[in-house]
Structure 1
Amino acid sequence: MIRTDHDGWKVRESATKLANVYGLENFDARIYPNGWHDNGFDDSEWGETCARKPSFRKRLDTR
């Protein structure tokens, strides 16, 4: 588990279009805007984040 302060996090569409448990991943870096990883990048068009509690589903006993 990683815990961080919530303030300041932003989100946008991911370049990862497919990921699964078998280690396959489709990643298209062209989706990210140029310079997104540089200091001073203008992220004003990115969305705000919200904290969510994890959801746990009760395991079904099939015996």
Structure 2
Amino acid sequence: NENELENNGETVQEAFDHHIVEHERCVIANEKFRKLLKCREKLKYKMPQQPTEKRKMMWKMTIHN
């Protein structure tokens, strides 16, 4: 029976469930990362190329939101 198979103290079903949860977390993290990259690209076109205090502050605000 597949549910009786164990590896490192967990059944195949438990291992599969953990894998699914980890995969979902990776997908969410990837989506957040893509949004940050989009924001960064938009800021490149809107902000002057010289690093000013205002630009640094806006970049920090983008990362933390």
- Name the TM-score class by shorter chain: under 0.3
| Structure with greater helix share of residues | 2
Instruction: Please state which structure has a larger fraction of its residues in strand.
Output: 1
TM-score, normalised by the number of residues in structure 1: 0.20
Q: Higher Cα Rg: structure 1 or 2?
A: 2
Instruction: Considering Cα pairs closer than 8 Å and 6+ residues apart, tell me whether 1 or 2 has the greater RCO.
Output: 1
